[in-house]
């Protein structure tokens, strides 16, 4: 099968198109023919080596974290899917590799594709959908009437998280550029801040939750818009001790995580608010719940551009510009 691989950890390094062996299908694995995949900043960070202490992939490895496709084979222990099912998913860490024609995925990482979405649309959902779900539903447990500040509202996570927070009954504030104001309003944002001309810290206060995806300076400012007892969940770091414990890291890496987040945790405590880091995980059951919301019309995908498979490198470069509205998807030749 054809696949794009990372030959070595290198900042903005080129991906190489190569022929790879077909994936081995074991017990609870499902072999999926990929119809579409999507590009995330996580892909570029993995290629650059930013996560190699936490996610040490042996080069060469196939990149890619989102998929929509068709089941073509199942392992002997599979009970949830059958050949011909249309599925979508985010393979678990250490088993990623969706920039390819086929992938073997554990059945618990997959869900049936939302019936009202195309393969292209479905491929845009898993990573950002799970990130938003785990932040807003699982960790923050957002309730109707609460106030949620979602940064970078026109990005992949932002476009999904705004819709989910609004569905949960929250009042939603977000930041975006001038040209994307109408987009985020159409998704359900109640308060829209043009980050080029306005300062969110002077406009927001008393918020229950901040979903942070930006730099350390923005994170620190975001702590100050929370009400006492409020929570900031960061998907851009720094990782905290709870994350290190959840991953079962060795004592040295646990210490590193503690030191990296010491300053922000200290500032959060001084303000009477909570800080936590979120690195989303694969979860097919949550994707099933997300599919139900999509089929009900509560959430719809936002796709910026679709690239053909042979231009996967161009798609990754485009995502790295930070100009994408929603997701960038790669269409596989069928």
According to the model, what pLDDT value does residue 183 have? 98
Let me know if residue 327 belongs to a domain: yes
- Structure token digits, residue 1: 């099968």
Model confidence at 53: pLDDT above 90:
no
Mean pLDDT across 158-169:
98
* Residue 294 lies inside a defined structural domain of this protein: no
Question: Is a pLDDT exceeding 90 seen at residue 294?
Answer: yes
Token couple for 193: 């801040």
Angle, in degrees to the nearest 10, between helices 126-133 and 156-167 = 50
* Residue 295 lies inside a defined structural domain of this protein: no
Q: What is the mean pLDDT of residues 185-200?
A: 97
pLDDT at 13 > cutoff 90:
yes
> Residue 253: which CATH number?
3.40.50.720
Counted domains in the chain: 2
**Residues of the domain holding 108:** 2-125+301-331
Clarify whether residues 272 and 315 are in a common domain.
no
Give the pLDDT of residue 54.
84
Give mean pLDDT, residues 319-331.
Answer: 96
One domain for residues 135 and 54: no
DSSP codes of every residue in 112-137: EPPTTS-HHHHHTSHHHHHHHHIIII
Band (pLDDT 50/70/90 cuts) for residue 209 is: very high
User: Do the domain assignments include residue 190?
Assistant: yes
pLDDT band at residue 334 under the 50/70/90 scheme: confident
SS3 323: coil
Residues 292-317 have a mean pLDDT of 98
Question: Which CATH number fits the domain that encloses residue 311?
Answer: 3.90.180.10
* Residue 247, pLDDT above cutoff 90: no
Task: Based on the fold, state whether residues 62 and 76 are members of the same structural domain.
Answer: yes
173, 261: one domain: yes
In a domain, 286, yes or no: no
Q: Identify whether 256 is part of a domain.
A: yes
Work out the end-to-end distance of the chain between its first and last CA atoms, rounded to an integer number of angstroms. 12
Residue-wise pLDDT for 54-92, tens only, equals 888 999 999 999 999 999 999 999 999 999 999 999 999
Is residue 284 in some structural domain? no
Structure tokens at 67: 């998929």
* Model pLDDT, residue 324: 95
My answer on whether 245 and 136 are in the same domain is: yes
Decide which of 247 and 191 is more confident: 191
Nearest CA to 18 out of 79, 77, 59 is that of: 59
């Amino acid at each position: 099968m054809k696949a794009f691989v990372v030959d070595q950890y290198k900042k903005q390094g080129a991906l190489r198109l190569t022929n790879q062996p077909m994936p081995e299908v074991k017990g609870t694995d499902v072999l999926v023919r990929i119809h579409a995949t999507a590009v995330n900043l996580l892909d570029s960070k993995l290629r650059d080596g930013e996560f190699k202490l936490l996610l040490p992939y042996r080069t060469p490895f196939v990149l890619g974290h989102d998929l929509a496709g068709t089941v073509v084979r199942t392992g002997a222990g599979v009970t949830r899917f059958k050949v011909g099912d249309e599925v979508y998913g985010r393979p678990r860490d250490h088993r990623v590799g969706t920039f390819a024609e086929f992938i073997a995925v554990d059945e618990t990482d997959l869900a049936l594709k939302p019936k009202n979405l195309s393969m292209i649309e479905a491929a845009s959902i898993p990573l950002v959908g799970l990130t938003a779900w785990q932040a807003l539903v699982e960790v923050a447990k957002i309730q109707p009437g609460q106030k949620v500040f979602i940064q970078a509202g026109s990005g992949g996570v932002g476009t999904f998280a705004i819709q989910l927070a609004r569905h949960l009954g929250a009042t939603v504030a977000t930041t975006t550029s001038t040209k994307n104001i109408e987009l985020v309003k159409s998704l359900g944002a109640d308060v829209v801040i043009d980050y080029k001309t306005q300062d969110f810290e002077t406009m927001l206060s008393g918020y229950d939750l901040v979903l942070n995806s930006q730099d350390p300076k923005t994170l620190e400012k975001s702590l100050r818009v929370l009400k006492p007892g409020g929570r900031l969940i960061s998907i851009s770091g720094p990782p905290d001790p709870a994350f290190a414990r959840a991953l079962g890291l060795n004592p040295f890496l646990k210490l590193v995580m503690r030191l990296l987040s010491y300053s922000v945790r200290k500032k959060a405590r001084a303000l009477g608010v909570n800080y936590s880091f979120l690195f989303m995980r694969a979860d097919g059951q949550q994707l099933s719940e997300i599919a139900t919301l999509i089929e009900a019309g509560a959430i719809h995908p936002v796709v910026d551009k679709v690239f053909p498979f042979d231009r996967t490198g161009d798609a990754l470069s485009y995502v790295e510009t930070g100009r994408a509205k929603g997701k960038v998807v790669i269409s596989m030749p069928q």
